[in-house]
Structure 1
């Protein structure tokens, strides 16, 4: 008798599958659908990355899990230049990953976290933090990290138990809200975690896209960690800043001991970034002009779409950075999704990101200029 239990049965439904009805309604609009429900880039991959990819296409041998020396040094230099890592930070603290979602989903397991342990993450968050805990057999614990930083554990309520937490995820700028943790908040969270021997992993994929703040500080920054990277990891991706989502080009950086631990596990699993992608990633990390142009493209789209959402009755909250407008219309997220779908606009309901998002929708800036303009026109005409 087969007693095998499918892993699928223990996982939540894939959120975006539930948008089929709203998608069909949006697609029926005479002007066509404006899909603002996902954060996938629509603009061109920079030439420098494409040329580097082609130049390395004769990749007949296996790549290494650790990455080439050129890639490791490019990542370390990027961390020193753009993520506030100290001048002493070197290649011992970096490791390429096959996209950042892969890392988020598997980090608890790769760190040896499992049954009897817990993984904490923001209570409004990208659902893969929760998934990663479940895949490892650990308990997912959503919590208000900002309240924890400012007021301590007492602000979380008596129903939140943190005794078994071994990993704390931060996400700043946040997906979906666009909120940015300040240096003082990150310092407080790092101090709290260190007192309890908790690893802190900071997902910083949207860091270059700041609109209403001067910076999105990194966990690698000595202003946050006092020059000590022990127990700290930064996850970063080139999907957003360089339109490399299809390349799966990302990295993890931080505590050399933890990075070394991950390297050994990933060697056994054969988690190797393809050699041509490594070459393209080196080129993209060293080229800032295209990333700056992409940032300004998103800024322009935001300046068109944000006032149109407000004209339609929406209130945009947080959204001081990142690729999304976290918007409420004073109703359930499901009702808002239906109202937008009637205009041919598809957004993501806030419930995808936790119960605390039940009255919000996430509206993405990742659509072409023409589609963003069309959405804005429809919103203004319907007000």
Structure 2
């Protein structure tokens, strides 16, 4: 049958006219729209990549499931950075070519299709919906996924997307709310798909709760898949490095399909992933950078007139448009040389998303223009 058609308003080309305006401003354009990292890749990662450039895992075919070193590093990362021991949970792991392909292929790899329903937050990352549409399944958007009564009795629900910390809102779900989602999903035989790509970018605590936390999952990974990415924590978006952890049965089956379609991370990049997962010093230095940039943006946006506060997590400031519509605000900010994301892309056309993934110098210039 192949991929089904999809519909999306997620088209960054729609910002081109405003970018042209912003480029005419003295000092040039400050792009706070796409959340693409700008800081250096950690030295430990670059060294590991270079050393593995001609290793056996480079000139030979790498394993889809990851090298033993990578699988161990993922398990150690969960234990050391999130306080989760995957072994007693019965969890498996598999690396993915970035988190976006994992999200986009998830419904298809779960064999969902016509008559099946995937629940997702109404305001969310667009690829959740696109991936569901590609599989030919139905999308159910709800205001609050932790309000389990909004989806538990809907016929055909097979999977539930959770995103904490959330892109774009920054919301962090408590362990209690995650627990209710996992329990309700298990009652109806659905899979919890927990996008935790910003887990270490939590500004209310050291790390946000995981769907795989022992107190959330009742000591079992059954029916849970958690996704994580190194793109933001280690500035490795171009390396395409991420992984899925959770229900071993589901992951083992997915891995078979992933092998057949060539969704495999190159050997040298797997070595770089190991270094990134073990270099927690670099991760927390990057975390501090983002926290300071966010705080600077929040202060400047507040002085400009926005009703804004520090997000609980993730890398974005999420604010209601002053004009009532995102596109008018985007045009007004473009006249200051600043480009931001339209909330329409994420399901809220009256909001803006402002990214902290810009250099300190760019953030300072943007703040000066806003003040």
TM-score between the two structures when normalised by the length of structure 2: 0.94
Supply the distance in 2 between the matched residues of 1:351 and 1:130 (Cα, whole angstroms).
Answer: 14
Q: Which residue in the other structure is 1:369 paired with? A: 360
C-alpha contact 2:298 2:309 (8 A) present in aligned 1: no
Distance 1:8 1:199, change over 3 A: closer
Supply the distance in 1 between the matched residues of 2:117 and 2:221 (Cα, whole angstroms).
Answer: 22
Distance 1:226 1:9, change over 3 A: closer
Distance 1:161 1:37, change over 3 A: farther
Distance 1:91 1:280, change over 3 A: farther
Gaps of 5+ in 2: none
Distance 1:289 1:207, change over 3 A: same
Supply the distance in 2 between the matched residues of 1:7 and 1:116 (Cα, whole angstroms).
Answer: 16
Residue 230, structure 1, aligned to residue 222, structure 2:
yes
CA RMSD of aligned residues (A): 2.0
Supply the distance in 2 between the matched residues of 1:161 and 1:127 (Cα, whole angstroms).
Answer: 25
Q: Which residue in the other structure is 1:296 paired with? A: 288
Q: Which residue in the other structure is 2:349 paired with? A: 358
Distance 1:285 1:259, change over 3 A: same
The correspondence of residues 242-253 of structure 1 with structure 2, limited to 5 A, is 242-253=234-245
Of 44, 48, 56, the match for 2:44: 48
Q: Which residue in the other structure is 2:33 paired with? A: 37
Distance 1:133 1:292, change over 3 A: same
Residue 18, structure 1, aligned to residue 14, structure 2:
yes
Shift of 1:213: 4.1
The correspondence of residues 11-160 of structure 1 with structure 2, limited to 5 A, is 11-58=7-54, 59-86=58-85, 88-89=87-88, 93-146=92-145, 148-149=147-148, 152-153=149-150
Shift of 1:114: 1.2
Distance 1:282 1:90, change over 3 A: farther
Q: Which residue in the other structure is 1:163 paired with? A: 155
Supply the distance in 1 between the matched residues of 2:355 and 2:50 (Cα, whole angstroms).
Answer: 31
Supply the distance in 2 between the matched residues of 1:51 and 1:232 (Cα, whole angstroms).
Answer: 34
Shift of 1:83: 2.8
Distance 1:276 1:214, change over 3 A: closer
Of 180, 193, 198, the match for 1:201: 193
Q: Which residue in the other structure is 1:334 paired with? A: 327
Distance 1:8 1:230, change over 3 A: closer
**What CA deviation, in whole Å up to 9, does each residue of 1:104-154 have, x standing for no partner?**
0001101111122111111100000000001111112211235515xx32x
Aligned length: 367
Residue 184, structure 1, aligned to residue 176, structure 2:
yes
Supply the distance in 2 between the matched residues of 1:204 and 1:166 (Cα, whole angstroms).
Answer: 20
The correspondence of residues 240-319 of structure 1 with structure 2, limited to 5 A, is 240-316=232-308, 319=311
Distance 1:203 1:56, change over 3 A: same
C-alpha contact 2:195 2:228 (8 A) present in aligned 1: yes
TM-score between the two structures when normalised by the length of structure 1: 0.91
Shift of 1:206: 0.6
Q: Helix, strand or coil: the match of 1:302?
A: helix
**What CA deviation, in whole Å up to 9, does each residue of 1:34-59 have, x standing for no partner?**
10001110000001001100111111
Supply the distance in 1 between the matched residues of 2:107 and 2:230 (Cα, whole angstroms).
Answer: 22
